[in-house]
C-alpha cells in the first residue's frame, strides 16, 4: 500500500537508448507498418543528405531474405576518429547517442532532409541487431550493436578502394508487431527521392523475390510531372525553373493537362510536405497573379474579370521543391513548412519566371487561360447548383435522403455509415445492423466517374448528392471532417468485378472531392467472406483462398459443403451481421494516404481517359490479382 511518499528514488533515469525502446512511438510515430518503414527512410535520408551535399552519387537499398535491410551509399563515410568530448569513435556516437549528428551546424551539411540528427541512433535502438561498415582512409571499419548496446567495438576488417557507408540492420520483433518489409512502399518513396535529387542513382533490390528497380532521373522535376501525368494528355511541354534566392534553392516544374483535377506536390529538403506551407502559399499567389496580369495585358481577360486560384489550378500538375538551411516543420504530422520568409521568396521568383514563360509562349498562355476561363464558368454553374441544393435543404440541414436508414446515436465518433451496393444487400444490412450506431445507405448501380467530370457535373449527380447529403461534411473546398455525421464511413460491395468497380468509383469520389475524410481516417472498406464451409453442424466463414485451403486440410473433404459468395445479397441479415458488420468479428480496412503522388497517378491511370497506360498497368500487375470473378 502506497503511503504517498514521492522522492528521488521514484525518478527513473533511462540511460543510453533505453528511452527509445521504452517509448518507440514518440520517435517513429507508431510500431506498425509506418514506423517499421520509417527506420529505413531515416537511414536513406542520411544517404540522401550526402548526395545533396555533392558527395554521393549512388544509394543502394537491399531487403534480405530474413527481413534485414542494407542501406549503402558512396559518400564520405561516417567519421571514425575519436570524438573530442565522449572519447569514443564518432561512428559509435552517431549510433548510440540521441541528438548526435552532423546536421546541427552548417559545416558538414548546408541543407539536410534527415530530421534533427535523431535517425541513426533510433534505428539502432529499435533493431534486434545493427552492423555499420564505413569505407574511408583506404580502410573498411566495422562496429556492431544488439538492441542498441555495443556488441563489438570499432575494428578494421579490410582495405577499401572507395569511400562510403553500409548499414545493415534487422527491425526488432520485440518492438514491431510485424517485421515484413513492403517493397512497393519503399519503391514509391525511393522513386520520389530520385526525382528530387536529380544527380543520384537509387537502386532497390529484394532478395526475397528477386525484384529490382533502378531510379535515375537526369530531368529531375520535369520527369516527375511527366510521370504524374502519364495517364493524362499534357497541353504543353513542362515549365521548369531552378534559382537561388537568399541562399534558398527554389525549383518548380509544372504542366497543364486535359483533366479537371489539380495535383500539387511540395517538398522541403526532400521531405514531402503533405500539409503544404509557406512555399505552397507563395506558389499559389504568384500563379494566380501572373495569369491574371498576363490575361489582362493581352486582352484575353476583360478588366472586370479576375480568375480565382481554383480556376487557374484546374488540370494543373506541379512539383515545388525548396532547399533551405533551417526548415521549420509544423502541422498535425510535422509536414507543413513554417518558415515565413519562404513565401515571399517563392512568390517573387516564380512570378518573374512564369510571367516570362507566358510572354515567350503566347500559344501555351492562350491554352492555359482558355482552360481557366472554362473552369470559371463551371465554377459559377457549380455555385448556383450548390445554392439551389442548399435552398432545397439538401447539403446543409437536417433533411436527409429517403434511402438512408439512419442510426439513433447522434455522436459522430461512435456512428458508422455503410454505403452498400444494391437494394437486396441494403435490405439485409438494414435488418442485421445495430440500429443504435449503424446507418445504411443502399446505392443503386454505379455512381458517376468523377475523374472524367467537372465539379458542377458531379454536384448534379443524384447518387453523389445522396452520399454527400448523408455524410454531411460537404464537398470540394467546403469538405470539413468536423461536420461529418459519421466517423466511420464503410464501403461495402460485392466480391466480384462489378463490386470492385463500384468500390473504385467511390474511392475516386472521396479522393478527388472529399479527401479530408481520407486524411482524417474516416473511410473504410468492409471485407465480406468469400466462402462458407459447412461440415455437420459446424459453419466456418473464410476470407481468402489460402484460408480455404488450410481449413480443408484440417477438416478433410468428406461431408464438407463449400459455398462461394459472389454477392452480399446471398447472405441473410444474420450472416451479414456476423461476418461483415459486427465490430467484434468483422475485418475493416482503413483507407490511408501513404503516398499521395502515387495515389494521384493511379487514380488517373485507372479512371482517366487514356487507355494505353491502363492496359500497361493491368499487364504489369495481372499476376498480383486475387479472387478474380470471371
Same domain assignment for residues 314 and 437: no
Strand ranges across the sheet with 531-535:
538-542, 531-535, 560-564
Is 167 inside any structural domain?
Answer: yes
Return the pLDDT at 103. Answer: 52
Return the pLDDT at 108. Answer: 57
Same domain assignment for residues 141 and 168: yes
Return the pLDDT at 516. Answer: 92
Sign of CA dihedral 434, 439, 444, 446: negative
Quote the domain boundaries for residue 550. Answer: 531-564
Same domain assignment for residues 275 and 339: yes
Instruction: Of 122-126, 228-232, 599-603, give the lowest mean pLDDT range.
Output: 599-603
What is the reported pTM?
0.74
Return the pLDDT at 380. Answer: 80
Return the pLDDT at 385. Answer: 62
Please report which confidence band the pLDDT of residue 162 belongs to, taking 50, 70 and 90 as the band edges. Answer: very high
- For 446, the grid coordinates are 454505379
Is 12 inside any structural domain?
Answer: no
Mean of per-residue pLDDT scores for the chain: 86
Q: Considering the chain, what percentage of its residues have pLDDT values greater than 90?
A: 55
Is 619 inside any structural domain?
Answer: no
| C-alpha distance from residue 336 to each of 176, 245, 398, 456, 518 (Å) | 28, 21, 36, 31, 18
**3-class DSSP state for residue 14?**
coil
| C-alpha distance from residue 110 to each of 136, 234, 272 (Å) | 22, 36, 19
Same domain assignment for residues 480 and 438: yes
What's the rounded mean pLDDT across residues 324-333?
Answer: 83
Is 76 inside any structural domain?
Answer: yes
Same domain assignment for residues 485 and 350: no
| Domain C-terminal end among 215, 238, 263 | 215
Alpha carbon distance 424, 427 (integer Å) = 5
Return the pLDDT at 458. Answer: 82
| Domain C-terminal end among 383, 413, 430 | 383
Pick from 110-119, 213-222, 503-512 the range whose average pLDDT is largest: 213-222
Please report which confidence band the pLDDT of residue 628 belongs to, taking 50, 70 and 90 as the band edges. Answer: low
Alpha carbon distance 532, 542 (integer Å) = 6
Same domain assignment for residues 485 and 560: no
> Is 75:112 a contact under the CB 8 Å cutoff?
no
User: Could you give the number of structural domains in the chain?
Assistant: 4
Alpha carbon distance 543, 548 (integer Å) = 8
pLDDT at 104 over 70: no
Question: DSSP letter string over 133-145?
Answer: EEEETTEEEEEEE
Q: Give the active site residues.
A: 421, 494, 496, 498
pLDDT at 22 over 70: yes
| Terminal CA-CA length for the chain | 68
> CATH code at 273?
3.30.230.10
Same domain assignment for residues 232 and 289: yes
Alpha carbon distance 588, 610 (integer Å) = 32
254-293 pLDDT, tens digit per residue, is: 999 999 889 999 999 998 998 899 999 999 999 999 999 9
Same domain assignment for residues 52 and 176: yes
Return the pLDDT at 10. Answer: 44
> Is 230:605 a contact under the CB 8 Å cutoff?
yes
Please report which confidence band the pLDDT of residue 44 belongs to, taking 50, 70 and 90 as the band edges. Answer: very high
Q: Considering the chain, what percentage of its residues have pLDDT values greater than 70?
A: 89
Other beta carbons within 10 Å of 347: 20
Return the pLDDT at 542. Answer: 86
> CATH code at 424?
3.40.50.670
Return the pLDDT at 630. Answer: 44
Please report which confidence band the pLDDT of residue 339 belongs to, taking 50, 70 and 90 as the band edges. Answer: very high
Is 23 inside any structural domain?
Answer: yes
199-211 pLDDT, tens digit per residue, is: 899 999 999 999 9
Same domain assignment for residues 226 and 278: yes
Alpha carbon distance 69, 62 (integer Å) = 6
Return the pLDDT at 112. Answer: 64
Return the pLDDT at 115. Answer: 45
Alpha carbon distance 449, 242 (integer Å) = 37
Task: For residue 506, give every residue at least 6 positions away whose Cβ sits within 8 Å of its Cβ, in sequence order, or none.
Answer: 419, 447, 467, 491
Other beta carbons within 10 Å of 318: 26
Is 78 inside any structural domain?
Answer: yes
Return the pLDDT at 13. Answer: 42
> Is 565:531 a contact under the CB 8 Å cutoff?
yes
For 187, what's the count of Cα atoms within 13 Å in the CB-facing half-sphere?
A: 10
Greater pLDDT, 333 or 315: 315
Residues 199-216 as b/e (b if ≥16 CB within 10 A, e otherwise) read ebbbbbbbeeeeeebebe
Return the pLDDT at 387. Answer: 61
What's the rounded mean pLDDT across residues 362-382?
Answer: 90
Return the pLDDT at 611. Answer: 76
| Domain C-terminal end among 173, 192, 215 | 215
Same domain assignment for residues 248 and 196: no
pLDDT at 156 over 50: yes
Same domain assignment for residues 522 and 458: yes
Same domain assignment for residues 501 and 540: no
Please report which confidence band the pLDDT of residue 226 belongs to, taking 50, 70 and 90 as the band edges. Answer: very high
Is 69 inside any structural domain?
Answer: yes
What's the rounded mean pLDDT across residues 454-460?
Answer: 80
445 Rama sector, left if φ>0, alpha if ψ -120 to 50, beta otherwise:
left
Is 624 inside any structural domain?
Answer: no
What's the rounded mean pLDDT across residues 427-446?
Answer: 91
Amino acid at each position: 500500500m502506497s503511503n504517498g511518499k514521492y522522492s528521488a528514488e521514484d525518478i527513473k533515469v533511462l540511460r543510453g537508448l533505453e528511452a527509445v525502446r521504452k517509448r518507440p512511438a514518440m520517435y517513429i510515430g507508431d510500431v506498425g507498418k509506418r514506423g517499421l518503414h520509417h527506420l529505413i527512410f531515416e537511414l536513406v535520408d542520411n544517404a540522401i543528405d550526402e548526395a545533396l551535399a555533392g558527395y554521393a552519387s549512388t544509394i543502394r537499398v537491399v531487403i534480405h531474405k530474413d527481413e534485414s535491410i542494407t542501406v549503402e551509399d558512396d559518400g564520405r563515410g561516417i567519421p571514425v576518429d575519436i570524438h573530442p568530448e565522449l572519447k569514443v569513435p564518432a561512428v559509435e556516437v552517431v549510433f548510440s547517442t540521441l541528438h548526435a549528428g552532423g546536421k546541427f551546424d552548417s559545416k558538414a551539411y548546408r541543407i539536410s532532409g534527415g530530421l534533427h540528427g535523431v535517425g541513426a541512433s533510433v534505428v539502432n535502438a529499435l533493431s534486434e541487431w545493427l552492423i555499420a561498415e564505413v569505407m574511408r582512409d583506404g580502410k573498411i571499419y566495422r562496429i556492431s550493436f544488439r538492441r542498441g548496446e555495443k556488441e563489438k567495438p570499432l575494428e578494421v576488417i579490410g582495405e577499401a578502394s572507395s569511400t562510403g557507408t553500409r548499414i545493415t540492420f534487422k527491425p526488432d520483433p520485440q518492438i514491431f508487431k510485424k517485421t515484413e518489409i513492403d517493397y512497393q512502399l519503399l519503391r514509391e518513396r525511393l522513386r520520389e527521392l530520385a526525382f528530387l535529387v536529380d544527380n543520384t542513382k537509387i537502386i532497390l533490390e529484394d532478395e526475397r523475390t528477386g525484384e529490382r528497380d533502378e531510379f535515375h532521373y537526369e530531368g529531375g522535376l520535369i520527369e516527375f510531372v511527366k510521370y504524374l501525368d502519364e495517364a493524362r494528355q499534357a497541353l504543353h511541354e513542362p515549365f521548369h525553373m531552378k534559382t537561388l534566392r537568399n541562399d534558398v534553392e527554389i525549383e518548380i516544374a509544372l504542366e497543364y493537362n486535359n483533366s479537371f483535377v489539380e495535383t500539387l506536390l511540395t517538398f522541403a529538403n526532400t521531405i514531402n510536405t503533405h500539409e503544404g506551407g509557406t512555399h505552397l502559399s507563395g506558389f499559389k499567389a504568384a500563379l494566380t497573379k501572373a495569369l491574371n496580369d498576363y490575361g489582362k495585358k493581352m486582352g484575353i481577360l476583360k478588366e472586370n474579370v479576375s480568375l480565382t486560384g481554383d480556376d487557374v489550378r484546374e488540370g494543373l500538375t506541379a512539383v515545388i521543391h525548396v532547399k533551405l538551411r533551417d526548415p521549420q516543420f509544423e502541422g498535425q504530422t510535422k509536414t507543413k513548412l513554417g518558415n515565413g520568409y519562404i513565401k515571399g521568396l517563392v512568390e517573387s521568383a516564380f512570378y518573374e519566371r512564369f510571367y516570362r514563360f507566358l510572354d515567350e509562349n503566347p500559344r501555351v498562355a492562350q491554352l492555359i487561360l482558355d482552360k481557366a476561363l472554362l473552369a470559371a464558368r463551371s465554377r459559377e454553374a457549380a455555385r448556383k447548383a450548390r445554392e439551389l441544393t442548399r435552398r432545397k435543404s439538401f447539403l446543409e440541414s437536417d433533411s436527409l435522403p429517403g434511402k438512408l436508414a439512419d442510426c439513433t446515436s447522434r455522436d459522430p465518433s461512435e456512428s458508422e455509415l455503410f454505403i452498400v451496393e444494391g437494394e437486396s444487400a441494403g435490405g439485409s444490412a438494414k435488418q442485421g445492423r445495430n440500429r443504435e450506431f449503424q446507418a445504411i445507405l443502399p446505392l443503386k448501380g454505379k455512381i458517376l466517374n468523377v475523374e472524367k467530370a467537372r465539379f458542377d457535373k458531379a454536384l448534379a449527380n443524384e447518387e453523389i448528392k445522396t452520399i454527400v447529403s448523408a455524410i454531411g461534411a460537404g464537398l470540394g473546398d467546403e469538405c470539413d471532417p468536423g461536420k461529418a455525421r459519421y466517423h466511420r464511413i464503410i464501403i461495402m460491395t460485392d466480391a466480384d468485378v462489378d463490386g470492385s468497380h463500384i468500390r473504385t468509383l467511390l474511392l475516386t469520389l472521396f479522393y478527388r472531392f472529399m479527401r479530408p475524410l481520407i486524411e482524417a481516417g474516416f473511410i473504410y472498406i468492409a471485407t465480406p467472406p468469400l466462402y462458407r464451409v459447412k461440415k455437420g453442424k459446424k459453419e466456418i466463414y473464410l476470407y481468402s483462398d489460402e484460408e480455404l485451403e488450410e481449413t480443408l486440410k484440417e477438416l478433410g473433404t468428406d461431408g464438407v459443403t463449400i459455398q462461394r459468395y459472389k454477392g452480399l445479397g446471398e447472405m441473410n441479415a444474420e450472416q451479414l451481421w456476423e461476418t461483415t458488420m459486427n465490430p467484434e468479428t468483422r475485418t475493416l480496412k482503413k483507407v490511408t494516404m501513404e503516398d499521395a503522388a502515387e495515389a494521384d497517378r493511379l487514380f488517373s491511370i485507372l479512371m482517366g481517359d487514356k487507355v494505353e497506360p491502363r492496359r500497361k498497368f493491368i499487364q504489369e500487375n495481372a499476376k498480383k490479382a486475387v479472387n478474380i470473378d470471371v
